[in-house]
Every structure is written in C-alpha cells, then in structure tokens.
Structure 1
C-alpha cells in the first residue's frame, strides 16, 4: 500500500466551550447586580441553551423585557460589554439590541469597544440597533467609532432620525472600507438624505443597501442612484466596445491595502478616482453578501442589493416630474450593471410606462448575458407586464439543480 493510504492520526477533540460559557453567565449576572440593572432574559436564555447544546454563542440579543413595569430595573448594554472584556470572550461576532433607550455612557462604552479593531477582545462584525432611542451626542459618538471599527454590517432599522441627526452616521460611513451592508429601514429618511446616501455609496465599500419604508421620493432616490447609474452606463459602453461578452466574472480589482491608513488617505486626496469594490470570485455565491473579509474592501459606485420598497416613488405632484429620470437610471442599472443581483421597488406606484421600460431592460440584460437579477415591482400595473417582469426575474436555484440532474 502507498503511504498516502496509510491511516491518519485522529485529530484531538476541541476543548469544550461549556466552562467558558458558564463562567460568562456568572460574570454577567454579577455585573448586572453591581450596576443595579436587570439580567437580559434573552441573553440568559441563549447562554443556557448554548451550554446545554455545547455550542458557541456568536450572537448576543439584548432586548427590552416584556414586563416593563416601573419597579423593574432597566436592561443595560454596559454589563454585557464589561463581561465580554473581563472574560476575554473572542467568539461573539454579533450584538443586536431591540427597543432600548440607550444612554450616553452605554454608547460611549460601545464605541470604545468597536474602536479597538483587531485588538478587540470581541471582534464584532455585525451591529444591530433596532427601534432604539439615542440622542444627538450618542449618534455622533457612534458615527466616529464606525471609521475605526471592524464592522461589516450595520443595522439601524426603526431608529427615527430627526433633521440632520443621521448626518453623524453618514460621516462615519464615507471612505469606510470595511462596512459592506447598511440597513436604514423605516428611519424617517426624506428626499434630503438622497445626496448623502449617493456620496456614501460612491466612497465606501457598501454593496448591500436596505432603505425600505422611508420617504426618499423621486428626488431622493434620484440623488442616490445618479453615481451608481452613471457608472453602470460607462460599464455598458465598455462592454459594447469589447470584443468578448461579459463572462460572469466580477471586475478585476486593484490591489487591496491591508493597512487602512494609506488607502484611506489616497481616496481622500483623489475622490474623483473611483475604484471597484472587491467581490468574491467563487462560482457558487453565498446568499447575500456576508463573507469573510481579510483586510479592507475597495470603494466604488455600485451595489449588489438595493432595497427601495415603500419610498413614495411615484408620478404624483412636483416630485413625480422626476419619475422619468428615475426610471432611466433604474433601467441603466438593470441593463449594464454586472454586480447588481437584487433590486426591490415594491409599493412604489411607478406606472405602466416605467414598468414597460423595466421589462425591456430585463430583456436587454438577458441578451447581454449578464447575471440573473431578482427584481420586485408593485402589482399595480397590467397583469401581462407584471407576469413578464416576474418571468424575467431570477429563477429558483432549485429548478436549475433539477435540470442538471436530468441531464
């Protein structure tokens, strides 16, 4: 027998995570008692479940208790962060907070935790702050921390921002080369947020943008789409002059700098020189854009997923006069952007003419052999147009697998 077939030595079993989680729970309860705050029922439940199943706990869910009586002590973020620090727990990747009123000291401690980057005891890559209340100081402190964090996904859904409040967050996103996904659903964003969102997308690595349930209207959505649509149009011209059609591979990025300062300084000095964001080269793409990041991503004005459902984009009033231009930019994206994989325009009354233009763009995309696109539009159009758009949308992967098996 060849040596290659010789029996390999069995690998040693990894050490049990149970003792570490048991100690984590005790320390967390101690910090809650010392700070006169309530132990979060969700965190206690998840820790006990992970202990009983001998599994790593990667996501911490901090939620407001169902019983919100005045006599009940509040749930606080600080004891959790102190426990992560004291126990040196390096396995948690996500922190999610629901329905809390976050104080300035809590946000300050969170910001310090995020800003430690690779030296953090808990390298958080996903932060969800959903339906929470923060004042202007807290938003400003969080915005400053975003630039120095290792976050890849930020969710601020249902956090109502006043006029100018969200500017603190936007300032922390510009030139951010780590953050890939941003969700600002139902945040009360109006048309004035469109230009800042367009600037953020152009100068950051964000390629998945959730803006459902705001009120950008035509002007705000236009301002957001202008840099993306213009870049897609340039790509279309390049493809038409190229001898070979698009092969399905993402564009070749230039070398990605793994030490943030030099790359960020270069972009700051030359904002007009827009480069491409790094994309995965794997043929089998994972759902969404959640993938491991080794160092910084590159900036560029394109998106993989764009969600603009329920944003008051229609042909009514003064805003409606810009619907034609909005439709033109959307069709440019559909026709020419090889990066785009999903776009949601549901609950926006675009009208029959816009729907027909979108259908023609989908047909042109297929003719150009660009990757399949999943698109959602309102059913408030003719049934024939709606059905045709649905047929040209991305087909189920299960059906493709079935065909391969038959062959």
Structure 2
C-alpha cells in the first residue's frame, strides 16, 4: 500500500510539473505573439496564469477584456513653453495572440472561453474555430459579448461548433450581426447534437429568424434559448414555437397511447395469470426482478450526450415587440399568445418563459392566466413566467400566484436604451439622460 501511495505522489508531482511548464510556455508565447501584432496582453489573463503557476492548477477558464485605460495628465507649463501635449497612441488588446498561443501549446484543459468588448474580425474567428476543432479540445462554453461580430466571421466560426462534442453553451450577446448572421448561424447548427444553450440577446434579430431558430428547437439538443431585446414581433415569436408546439402535441398523444397500451397489456397479463392459476398481481419478488431488468437497460444509454427533440426548458423573449401596437395588432398578438398559452398547458419540460416588456394587453393576459390554471388542474409542475405589468392588475397578480419566481440574470444594458430598477423606481436610461418613468 505504501509503495502505491509513493507512486501516486510521484505521478501527481510529475503532472503538476508538466502543467507548470505548459503554462510558462503559454505565457511566453502570449507575450511574443502580442508584441508581433502590436497588442498589449490582457492583464486579467496574465494574472490568472501566474496565480495558477503558484497553485499548480491547470487553466480551465479564460476571460479576455480590454485593460483599464490610464488617464495621461498634461505636463505643467507645457502650453507656456509651447510644447504639444498630444496623448500617446492607445495600444489595444487583441484576441488573436492568445488564441495562437493556445493553438501552439494545444492546451487541452480549457473549458470556458469568454471575450468581452474586444472586436473580433475574420482572422480571429478562424483561429478560434481552429482551436475548437482540435481533437484534444474539451471546451464547454464559448461566450463572445459585444465583439462586433459580422455575419461572415460568425459563419466561419460557427462551422466548428458541430465538430466539438463537448461544447454545450454558446453566448453571442450584444453582437448586432442581424438577420443575415442569425440565418448563417442556424445553417451551421442544423443537426447539432451537443449545444444545449444558445443566447442571442440584443443582436438586432427580426421576425425572419423565428422559423430557423424554431427548427433548431425541435431538431437539435437545444433546450434553452435567450432572445431578449430583439425585434421578433408577434410573427417571429409564433414561428419560433410553432414546430415545438406540434411536436409537444404529438409527444403527448404518443404518451397517452403508450399508457393505454400498457394498461391493456397489464389486463391481458392478469387474465392470463388467472388462467394459469397464479395470482392476478405480481409478487414482490417478481416486481424486484423486473426493476433490475429496467435498470440494466438504462445503463446502455449515452448519458454524456443530451437528448434531441422537443425538450425545451427555457424560452426568453423579453422586450421583443410582441404587442398590439401594429396593423391588425390584436388578431396578430392573440394568435401568438394562444400558441404560448397552449405550450404552457401541454409542455412537461418547459420551466421558464419570459415575455416581459411585451404589451400583450388585458385579453391576452387572461389567456395566459387560463393556461396556467389548466396546467394546475393537470397537476403539472409550476413554471417560471414573466409578463408585462401593463395588463389588468388582478390578472397580473393571479399569474404571479400560479407561477414560480424567476431569478433574472443581470445583463449589461442595451446600447441605446436600458431598463433598470433601482430603489422602487423604474428608469429609462439612454446614453445621455435618465428619466423617471413610473413607480412600481
């Protein structure tokens, strides 16, 4: 036993030493490639790597963002002497040097890669795609916030998503690539069996994106979709869940037929047992034997791969112009809300539905309420649902009672308009002003 322990300790020490050498090489290459590209290394990344070197741990998370800018004070008396006080050129932080360092080292422990507020061009996206395609990559999360992604670079990058079998979360918030970029992304994600969460908030998406995203919800493993702050409108929102609703209806019909067939099989089995002189019900020993057989069947399934099909748990459509403020507004919004209400009634997987900041009106608020009541009668689990407060106050209060509370994640404000709640007031924040709108 003592010899085994010594071997394990030596092995651990060897792995730690190998990891330290790898991180040192990564840091050296990052500095070298940054100098070649006239870039300044990210302070946060270098601090993280140096801390890991001291601890002996591997690099599993990376967060790249611009370094804090320093204010250069003018020299006293420079104007009197006649010297110019032009500020020195600002050296920016780029993404490509670090990705090149990852590729050169072939770092295989990285699980989360995040970039915030750094412009990513075509070459950056190609390099990141090459890293994602590596066979040794175990990347699980890719988050690119406000990176000014354009349609073509996004298309080249997303072509690698289907290759990485470990990738589960893709977050592209605040990249205004619009309808063209979204359609190209959907083409690349068709048939994906790995990604379970897709976030495209504030990406300037319109109604045309509803149908292709809706196909992803029923044909891939996608279970959570976040589309806050776009322009889907009633038409886009309806197209998003149309196919999902059809699949949920089929799933429930198939489930009822299966239950009916099981009941008939049990009745036939009981009659046959009576004819054979056995008790109609199974004995405790027989029940245990059947349970063991069922457990053995479950072990054959692939637990590491998420299921594909209508297993959507979270749909977020906060502030998406799903309202009656358009031509034939009431008929259009009623059609969309009826579809969401039906989904609330029959979907067993749905956990969260965010329709806040969409002026659906009093009648449609009542439709949502009736759907929640129907769900309660079926004794289905509660779902977390948000709707606009601009409906009948009693209907709104009843919706809150019948739904679970949703913990809304804090997001960066919208570039032009940002809704925030502080000290009991709702504010509308723009780039220059802050106006008090209403008391809560």
Could you tell me the TM-score, scaled by structure 2's length? 0.70
| CA distance 1:243–1:136, change in 2 (3 Å) | closer
Counterpart position of 2:156: 141
Residues 167-178 of structure 1 aligned to structure 2 (within 5 Å): 167-178=183-194
Counterpart position of 2:63: 61
Q: What do residues 152-191 of structure 1 show as CA deviations (whole Å, max 9, x unaligned)?
A: 1111101002442322211111111111110000001011
Residues 94-173 of structure 1 aligned to structure 2 (within 5 Å): 94-116=112-134, 119-120=135-136, 122-150=137-165, 151-173=167-189
Deviation (angstroms), 1:360: 1.9
Deviation (angstroms), 1:123: 2.3
Structure 1: gaps (5+ residues): 1-5, 245-280, 282-291, 398-407
Is the counterpart of residue 216 in structure 1 residue 232 in structure 2? yes
Query: Rg: which structure is higher?
Result: 2
Q: Which moved more, 1:151-160 or 1:78-87?
A: 78-87
Q: Secondary structure at the match of 2:108?
A: coil
Taking CA–CA contacts closer than 8 Å with sequence separation of 6 or more, which of the two structures ends up with the larger relative contact order? 1
Q: Could you tell me whether the CA contact under 8 Å between 1:233 and 1:332 is conserved in 2? A: no
Is the counterpart of residue 354 in structure 1 residue 364 in structure 2? yes
Residues 242-261 of structure 1 aligned to structure 2 (within 5 Å): none
| CA distance 1:213–1:223, change in 2 (3 Å) | same
Q: Could you tell me whether the CA contact under 8 Å between 1:143 and 1:170 is conserved in 2? A: no
As a proportion of its length, which structure holds more helix?
2
Residues 231-242 of structure 1 aligned to structure 2 (within 5 Å): 231-238=247-254
Deviation (angstroms), 1:351: 1.6
Structure 2: gaps (5+ residues): 71-86, 261-297, 408-440
Counterpart position of 1:43: 45
Is the counterpart of residue 386 in structure 1 residue 401 in structure 2? no
Deviation (angstroms), 1:95: 1.0
- C-alpha separation in 1, matches of 2:55 and 2:325: 56
Decide which of 65, 90, 105 is 2:108's aligned counterpart: 90
- C-alpha separation in 1, matches of 2:366 and 2:258: 28
Deviation (angstroms), 1:378: 1.4
Q: Which moved more, 1:170-179 or 1:54-63?
A: 54-63
Q: Report the number of matched residues.
A: 342
Q: Could you tell me whether the CA contact under 8 Å between 1:315 and 1:350 is conserved in 2? A: yes
Counterpart position of 2:32: 30
| CA distance 1:319–1:78, change in 2 (3 Å) | farther
| CA distance 1:179–1:388, change in 2 (3 Å) | same
| CA distance 1:96–1:143, change in 2 (3 Å) | same
Counterpart position of 1:248: none
- C-alpha separation in 1, matches of 2:303 and 2:189: 17
Decide which of 305, 321, 328 is 2:338's aligned counterpart: 328
Q: How large is the RMSD of aligned CA atoms in angstroms? A: 2.9
- C-alpha separation in 1, matches of 2:376 and 2:25: 56
- C-alpha separation in 1, matches of 2:228 and 2:303: 26
Residues 189-200 of structure 1 aligned to structure 2 (within 5 Å): 189-200=205-216
